[in-house]
Amino acid sequence: MIKKFILIILFFLLLLYLRSFFVPEELPSLVLDKTELLHVVEEMPRDKDAAGKLAEDVIFQNYNISRKNFEHYFSLNRFNKTQFRWMLYYDVRKNQSLAVYLVKKLTEEEAFAIADGFVINGVGREYFTKYFKRSALKNDTAYYSYLFSPYNPIEMWVRLDYERNIKGHFVLLTPQEIKLDAKDAKKIASTHFPEPISATLIFDGSRIAWRCIWQHVATEEDYARQRVYGADVDATTGGILRTFKYVKPAPTSTPMAPIQKSQVDALAQKLSAFHKLKDGAVINLRISQSFSEKFHIIKSFGKFIAKDGLSDDADITIWIDRETFLKSLESGDAWSYFIQESKSGHISITEEKSLLVLAQKGYVALYEELKK
């Protein structure tokens, strides 16, 4: 009998040993906080394999996933390529799809060559050379100084997309000769409002004009009569492009800015007890007063990700008033402040899962401190 019992025990031990080889390790859930990732490259990947490897590196940089587990979460669905961009689209387990864009860097010389051509096509090369000076490239925007007067340059710009197409501009596209000076513009403006008048050369998106403004502190009578206090005078024709009147704004209360997901992320990072939670922990957060704002926080591969609305799979729900939430963000020791406010009744916690599940997910420290 004893021999038979020992054989049964050995058999079960053998089964447990074999199970470790054949039952796959349960991997934590991945939660994406983005649907697109953009990466700027000096040189375009030469082929699909090179683009795929670089895209995987970009994903590794954003999510703490080991290379061996990559295929458990991500599966390349499709890709396409243009002259300046690779676009790779991944299906992601239990998430929305993720797009990775590998974009060739836009150099300053390249950007200005395209922008110069766009402006020259409108105003002509001679006019462009006479009045336009390259200023700077900032991100995707080429800036110019329009130099009718060295003392009063006007900023203009041309914006490009990743494919080197023009996607926006604030630049003169029809040659315009400046025939009026500031004195001429002030004289024309004085027929609409009194002196003293200032005059500044401006560009309104289509024409260059003198913006003339009455140097005056508005009175209640000015607002009541809606007196004209300014005008844009066309710098070529002298025509009035538009006038400006005193209009008293209606009293309005400043709306309370809604809590942003980025603020919830930031608070989760500041709460030391949250860092003891295991991947897959889910916390509902309900913020009261003025708004009924609802979020849930998921810990995924060491990162806290805030999402709108409540989760049906939450482990706990934290109730917090709005002022306490904002002060916690500003606090040097957010967790101590959290504990203090929970004792004052400004923070409360309810369990959505059993205490055993909470313990398994690492809630012990958080739960004990807040429930004291």
What confidence tens digit (pLDDT) does each residue in 21-64 have? 444 556 677 888 889 999 999 999 999 999 999 999 999 988 88
Three-class HEC string of 80-148: EECCCEEEEEEEECCCCCEEEEEEECCCHHHHHHHHHHHHHHHHCHHHHHHHEEEEEEECCEEEEEECC
Tens of pLDDT along 127-183? 999 999 999 999 899 999 999 877 778 999 999 999 999 999 999 999 999 999 999
CA 52 to chain centre: 25
Q: Which helix (H) or strand (E) holds 15?
A: helix 2-22
Answering whether pTM is above 0.75, one says no
- Please name every residue paired with 89 in a beta bridge, in sequence order, or none if there are none: 78, 99
For residue 258, CA distances in Å to 17, 67, 88, 294, 328 come to 54, 39, 34, 11, 16
Residues of the chain short of pLDDT 50, as ranges, are: 5, 19-23
**DSSP 8-state assignment for residue 279:** T
- Provide the 10 A C-beta neighbour count for residue 123: 19
Task: In whole angstroms, give the CA distance from residue 275 to residue 279.
Answer: 10
The SS3 of residue 338 is helix
CA distances from 316 to 90, 164, 265, 272 (A): 32, 49, 17, 17
What whole-number distance in Å separates Cα of residue 180 and Cα of residue 186?
Answer: 10
Question: For residues 226 and 222, what is the distance between their CA atoms, to the nearest angstrom?
Answer: 6
